[in-house]
Structure 1
Amino acid sequence: MSRTIISTKDAPVLPAPLSQGVRKGGLVQVAGQLPLDPTTGNIVGSTVAEQTAQVLRNVTAVLEAAGASLEDVLILRVYLTDPAHLAEMNQAYAEAVGEPFPARTTVYMPLPPGMLVEIDALAATDG
């Protein structure tokens, strides 16, 4: 079974050696998405809530390009720069993702300047 590289103009293309997403069989892995506008490449928002909403729009765009949706997501991995942002991120995340929630891991790490959150996803589809 070969893998298929997923690419869409509806999510940012990063100047890094990575694909926006990869599909192999029914599995779709979305690369870590940043709070960037796919058209301009500029950071969207100054709060973690605004940035979380943009990141999840980017994740959704890659999922859709792969023929998947947030409903197919098994796990979302969230990377935050500051533990103090967790409550605000949780609220924006809950609004964007909706119940039933997929599994999730949240870790804290440095991100590029001005960026407060990054999220990647693993989804499973029927084919």
Structure 2
Amino acid sequence: MAKKVIHTDNAPKAVGPYSQAIQMGDLLFCSGQISIDPKTNEVFTGDIKTQTEMVMKNIEAVLGAAGLNYGHIVKTTIFLTNMSDFATVNEIYAKAFKDAPPARSTVAVAGLPKGVNVEIEVLAHR
């Protein structure tokens, strides 16, 4: 089974040596998304609500490039620099998963790339 690189200009370019996503068979492994505007490549480090909305849009773009949507996600991992942002992130995140939300882990971290406060990675199944 060959791996297929998934790329879209509607999500931020990788900020390191990795792909936006890799498809292997029916599985899609998406790299963590942060609050970068794909049109300007500018990082947003302001309020957590806007950061999370940007992250979710970037995830949606990567999924779309593979012909998938939020309903295909089976597992997510959320990385937060401050657990006091947990409720706000949940509020935005929940909008994408009205029925049968995926399995999830949330981890507090000391820092994230580009000084953002939230990063979300997903695993999806076709």
TM-score (norm 1): 0.92
Deviation at 1:48, TM superposition (A): 1.2
Residues 77-100 of structure 1: CA distance to partner in whole angstroms, max 9, x if unpaired?
100000111011111111233332
Which aligned runs of 4 or more in structure 1 are off by greater than 4 angstroms?
none
Structure 1 residues 49, 97: CA separation in 2 closer, same or farther (over 3 Å shift)? farther
Deviation at 1:103, TM superposition (A): 0.9
Q: 1:50 is matched by which residue type in structure 2?
A: T
Deviation at 1:113, TM superposition (A): 4.7
Gaps in structure 1 of 5+ consecutive residues: none
| Counterpart residue number, 2:15 | 15
The answer to whether 1:36 aligns with 2:4 is no
Deviation at 1:56, TM superposition (A): 0.8
CA RMSD of aligned residues (A): 1.3
Structure 1 residues 100, 39: CA separation in 2 closer, same or farther (over 3 Å shift)? same
Distance in 2 between the 1:9 and 1:113 partners? Answer: 19
Which piece of structure 1 moves more, 48-57 or 108-117? 108-117
Structure 1 residues 113, 19: CA separation in 2 closer, same or farther (over 3 Å shift)? closer
Percent of residue pairs bearing the same amino acid type: 36
Distance in 2 between the 1:36 and 1:10 partners? Answer: 11
| Counterpart residue number, 2:124 | 123
Distance in 2 between the 1:105 and 1:58 partners? Answer: 19
Q: Secondary structure at the match of 2:61?
A: helix
Q: 2:37 is matched by which residue type in structure 1?
A: D
Is this contact kept in 1: 2:3–2:24, CA < 8 A? yes
Q: Secondary structure at the match of 1:64?
A: helix
| Counterpart residue number, 2:62 | 62
| Counterpart residue number, 2:51 | 51
Is this contact kept in 1: 2:45–2:115, CA < 8 A? no
Gaps in structure 2 of 5+ consecutive residues: none
Which piece of structure 1 moves more, 100-109 or 37-46? 37-46
**Aligned length in residues:** 125
Distance in 2 between the 1:98 and 1:35 partners? Answer: 23
Distance in 2 between the 1:28 and 1:3 partners? Answer: 10
